[in-house]
Amino acid sequence: MKNKKLIFLAVVLLFSGILIGLIVASKLDIQTKGYSEEYQISKESQEVLSKIGNAMAEVVQAVRPAVVNIYTTKKIKRPRIPFPFDDPFFRRFFDEEFSELFRPREFTQTSLGSGVIVDASGYILTNYHVIKGADEIKVKLFDKRVFDGVVVGTDAKTDLAVLKIKAEGLRPIKWGDSDKLKVGETVIAIGNPYGLALTVTSGIVSATGRANVGIADYEDFIQTDAAINPGNSGGPLVNVRGELVGINTAIFSTTGGYQGIGFAIPSNMARVVMENLIKHKKVVRGWLGVTVQDLDPEMAKALKMKEIKGAVVTDVYENSPAQKAKIQRKDIIISFDGKEVEDSAHLRNLVVNTPPGKTVKIEILRDGKTHTVTVNIEEQPANLKVTAAESLLGGIYVEDLTNKLRSQYRIPNRINGVIVMSVDPNSPAYGILNKGDVIMEINNEKINSVRDFNRVANEVSEYAIVWFYRQGKVLYTTLKAR
């Protein structure tokens, strides 16, 4: 009797298991069918994505013949290391192989970068740092042909260089208008990162008009999240029409690799520099004859300005175009040649890219009223001389120390002052004060704001003793009039 009960229980469990299995399988089948039906990619979506993919591929196919590899070689001589064992007394203890280590040697250093053909006659744009100091330059085209690259001219202040090759059948890139770029617009970067020939990456324009980055003297960068890595330098940044809108130049990175922030020189700036180098073998820059600083929030509020835009004139050079046009200290330049001035760096770029001899209209704000003056832009003097007061502090561009800047530059709360954002190459502080330094005191006067800095800057004459904070240390330097 007991065995019959066990057999009956086993049969019941068996059939129960089968029944549960059928129910589960049925539900899974229903879910699977629903999943496949619900998440199936529609033909419309596939067509849209295919069109986008095909469009990007067409742009790359049109542009890639203009992209080149640039290979450079440079001979580096290691100087003779002083070897006290040249003395006969010491020579007895060391053989020739050991002393060979201290003799002069010559090494060959190779590097690579990218470039872009901008003219059918053979002109190529690239970065200056790609070919700097090179003894030999080789240019490899898309069709594998290799030519010697001849340097037409270089401009370290914008990090641009123009090369030329003797070749036929070149397909130059089309020029685009970088001034029309919009934040969020799709762009494509092409180059040779890490020697991987013709690599294509895409992204968007993250920002325009980036300055005070610390890469070059004249900065007006396009910021993009299109991946730019070592070796991309000098390659083109193009828009969806396959037009050149920038020259890939550098990345912002804490690791040395791509982190989503890349910079490109705008094509309009690059074109002006290129044409100058081809025509004059140097860059002829426009000159207004003023020193300027950014408009701070307090001044903008006092003037009842809706936006913090414009550049404040801190000084005017004698016999300069600005003085002839009666521009004065404290004037706020709000537009230049029909273009709204964003800040001091923007004005600086507008001026230097204006050809000497051109007459422009400048809109200024003076005593709460708007005035328009006409200025004849002149060529920037090669041996620019400045007044004593301006030569000491006029070329130092500072901002108030905000919490955001404290965090960015790791400045402790105990440090007060103004933070250096850039230093003009004509300033005696150039190479002494760096971006990120905090100026705390000048000639025994504490500096707590940009207003304090401007006031003291106008008072110094023969020298300025500057106390400043840098990377955990408080230091001082003495600036003297040249």
**Active-site residue, 407 included:** no
* Catalytic residue, candidates 114, 202, 233, 427: 233
Which segment, 140-149, 193-202, 229-238, 295-304, is predicted with the most confidence on average?
140-149
- Please choose, from the candidates 131, 122, 118, 205, the residue with its C-alpha nearest in 3D space to the C-alpha of residue 161: 131
Compute the distance between CA of residue 142 and CA of residue 146 in angstroms, rounded to an integer: 9
Model confidence at 126, in pLDDT bands (50, 70, 90)? very high
**Active-site residue, 346 included:** no
**How does pLDDT run across 455-473, given as a tens digit for each residue?**
787 777 667 888 899 988 8
Asked whether the beta carbons of 293 and 345 are under 8 A apart, the reply is no
Report pLDDT for 389: 37
Does 28 reside within a domain? no
The encoded tokens of residue 254 equal 């804490």
Whether residues 201 and 262 share a domain: the answer is yes
Neighbouring CB atoms inside 10 A of 442's CB total 24
The encoded tokens of residue 315 equal 């000084």
Whether residues 259 and 143 share a domain: the answer is yes
pTM (two decimals): 0.65
Does 230 reside within a domain? yes
Asked whether the beta carbons of 70 and 114 are under 8 A apart, the reply is yes
Whether residues 81 and 187 share a domain: the answer is yes
Q: Is the pLDDT of residue 450 over 60?
A: yes
Report pLDDT for 314: 76
Look up the CATH number of the domain holding residue 362: 2.30.42.10
Report pLDDT for 250: 77
Report pLDDT for 17: 58
Whether residues 192 and 75 share a domain: the answer is yes
Whether residues 211 and 244 share a domain: the answer is yes
Asked whether the beta carbons of 214 and 435 are under 8 A apart, the reply is yes
Does 10 reside within a domain? no
**Active-site residue, 159 included:** yes
* Catalytic residue, candidates 111, 114, 159, 225: 159
Among candidate residues 243, 276, 309, the one where a domain is terminated:
276
* Residues constituting the chain: 482
* Catalytic residue, candidates 111, 114, 129, 427: 129
Number of domains composing the chain = 3
Average pLDDT, the chain: 81
Whether residues 272 and 296 share a domain: the answer is no
For the chain, the distance separating the N- and C-terminal CA atoms, rounded to the nearest angstrom, is 118
Does 411 reside within a domain? yes
Does 11 reside within a domain? no
Residue 109: beta bridge partners? Answer: 74
Q: How many CA atoms lie less than 13 Å away from 71 in the CB half-sphere?
A: 12
More confident residue, 89 or 362: 362
Among candidate residues 212, 242, 276, the one where a domain is terminated:
276
Compute the distance between CA of residue 221 and CA of residue 398 in angstroms, rounded to an integer: 20
Report pLDDT for 94: 54
Query: What percent of the chain has a predicted confidence (pLDDT) above 70?
Result: 78
Q: Return phi, psi of residue 30, to 5°.
A: -65, -45
Average pLDDT over residues 176-186: 92
Model confidence at 259, in pLDDT bands (50, 70, 90)? confident
More confident residue, 57 or 454: 57
Q: Identify the weakest region by mean pLDDT among 57-71, 115-129, 353-367, 373-387.
A: 373-387
Compute the distance between CA of residue 77 and CA of residue 109 in angstroms, rounded to an integer: 10
Q: How many CA atoms lie less than 13 Å away from 420 in the CB half-sphere?
A: 25
Compute the distance between CA of residue 305 and CA of residue 283 in angstroms, rounded to an integer: 36
Residue 275 burial (10 A CB sphere; 0-12, 13-18, 19+):
middle
Amino acid at 261: I
- What's the CA angle centered on 153, arms 147 and 154, to 5 degrees? 110
